[in-house]
Amino acid sequence: MNTKTTISISEARKNIFDIADDVQKPNNYYTLTENGRPKAVILSAEEFESWQETLEVMRDFPDLDKDVKETDRAVASGECKKWATLDDILAKEGYIVADRPKQKYGVSTKVQIKRGKRVRKNR
């Protein structure tokens, strides 16, 4: 739920600590006004950083929505299996790619005793 509260800068000055606590809740922010006109917005640092990251991604990938749809179609049709792997690209650029067995990712079922404690051992 987006909670937007519009208050005057004078009112915000009186309640700044409460406002700082309130904006820590997800999607809460305050619009501060001067003479009835919006002047500034207060939101949590986490929310601000999230907006910055989103804008950066949008600048770096302006057609992201189109690219995602294109990739989804390629995955559904199997066309993506013909795409070059990272190892292929690195080898083409002249990097030496170490021969290594294909790794399986996931949680290991093996248990290891370490300093008297049972811990799961990753493969």
| pLDDT > 60? residue 121 | no
Q: What is the pLDDT of residues 90-105, one digit of tens each?
A: 888 888 777 666 665 5
- What's the pTM value of the predicted model, to 2 decimals? 0.54
Which whole-number Å values give the CA distances from 69 to 56, 76, 119, in the listed order? 20, 11, 42
The answer as to whether 27 is a domain residue is yes
**Percent share of the chain, pLDDT over 70:** 76
Domain that holds residue 7: 3-53
* Residue 33's CATH number: 3.40.1620.10
* 32, 41 contact by CB (below 8 A): yes
Q: Give the chain's domain count.
A: 1
The answer as to whether 22 is a domain residue is yes
